[in-house]
Amino acid sequence: MTLIINNEDVAKVLTIEDTMAALEDSYRNLALGEAVCRPRIDIRIPTSDPTRNYQFGSMEGGSTRGYFAVRMKSDIIYEQRDGAVVTQEKYCTRPGLFCGLIFLTSIENGEPLAFINDGVLQHMRVAGDGGIGVKYMARKDAKVVGMLGSGGMAREHMAAFMAVRNIEKLQVYSPTKANREAFGREMAAKYNIEVQVCERPEDIYKGADIVAALTDSAVPVLDGRLIEPGAHVLNIGGSGVPDAETIRRADVYLRFGDAPAPIGRPELALDDEYIAWEARPKTAKFGDGRWGKKAHGVMAPEKRITLAGIMSGATTGRTSAEQITWSERGNLQGAQFYAVAGRVYELAKAAGLGYEIPTEMFLQTIRN
């Protein structure tokens, strides 16, 4: 039987600890040549509304450990401005609804194992990366988090930070006062920590050992001038790119790794976060394809180290308490989804969760 696993089921079984363990194992296997993935690919097509465009995104990967997965997203993309704040918005069919699916298969017999809603798993895998970055790069005595953002990504990242460091205080800002105050109360109650809800974004940096920008902004929101010595930096949003001053001031840049080149085509190796094809390529697009902007790759090659290098002992992470460090995943999204989705499938089956559909519905007698 093939399982349909919804977000509620994922939330019941998947922990941040499970997520981080699955991700680390996947990255290790990728470095060993036991796993493979490709960069994310987007297809963008203008709609009849010039302020919006369609975007289909996919990423895929698998491992000799038994699973393969492709993650697919079908979105209408647009941008929204509120004063100086520009956010990336998206929907499927209508605002408030989204279409993101993970198709999980067996590498042993090709069997379709599950279709999984990607909402909860998506937040967990991004937060898992944040936790891995803190685990290997933040100071061991890091205890104060400075956070921009108070949504779902912020919640899951706090869980990841708590899993790897003894966090005692959160300093948080987001543009909507009610949202940041509600988030602050929630985190204080959940983790029994001190929370300072900030009235200005610049207030989150003072004394922060971990600085995390976790927003849906279409432009960079970090202010590298305010990051204090010894801090570790994470950035989600702003098209994945921190501000130039953060990049300049970072002493060590941990990029987990890069997707391998196709077999026999080394010239096609890419470190881009995504690559895209577009209909009407000269027409400006929104979202990740904002105004034709190229996806970033390795942003500070002279400072770069890899997770494989740290795991093998070939390189170290932070070498002093005063260094500013910064971590990001790289274009390994495909290696994330098979690993975390495979773990969700195992946990859901063990718990008797998910909606069963006969696998025969996805099979045919005509050779394809």
Question: What percentage of the chain reaches a pLDDT higher than 70?
Answer: 97
The predicted model scores a pTM of 0.91
pLDDT of residue 238: 60
Residue 289 has pLDDT above 80, yes or no: no
- Measured in degrees and rounded to the nearest 5, phi and psi for residue 21 equal -65, -45
* pLDDT, tens digit (0-9, with 9 covering 90-100), for 94-148: 999 999 999 999 999 999 999 999 999 999 999 999 999 999 999 999 999 999 9
d(CA 159, CA 178): 22
Residue 288 domain-assigned (yes or no): no
Are 203 and 252 within one domain? Answer: yes
- Please compute the mean of the pLDDT values over residues 20-24 and round it to a whole number: 97
d(CA 83, CA 140): 39
- Give the pair of three-digit tokens for residue 259: 């997707």
- Please compute the mean of the pLDDT values over residues 212-230 and round it to a whole number: 89
Taking alpha carbons only, the member of 59, 60, 61, 69 closest to residue 35 is 61
Are 142 and 222 within one domain? Answer: yes
Q: Is the dihedral of CA 44, 41, 137, 248 positive or negative?
A: negative
- Structural domain span for residue 111: 2-121+334-362
- Measured in degrees and rounded to the nearest 5, phi and psi for residue 271 equal -110, 5
pLDDT of residue 241: 79
Q: Where are the alpha helices (DSSP H) in the chain?
A: 7-13, 16-32, 119-137, 152-164, 177-191, 244-249, 307-312, 333-351
pLDDT of residue 368: 84
Grouping H, G, I as helix, E, B as strand and the rest as coil, residue 208 is coil
The CATH number linked to 216 is 3.40.50.720
End-to-end alpha carbon distance in the chain:
22
What total number of domains does the chain contain? 2
Geometric angle at alpha carbon 85, from 82 and 89, rounded to 5°: 80
- Cβ atoms of 259 and 39 closer than 8 Å: yes
pLDDT of residue 301: 85
Are 324 and 338 within one domain? Answer: no
Residue 78 domain-assigned (yes or no): yes
Q: How many helices (H) and strands (E) in the chain?
A: 8, 18
- Please compute the mean of the pLDDT values over residues 68-80 and round it to a whole number: 95
Are 95 and 152 within one domain? Answer: no
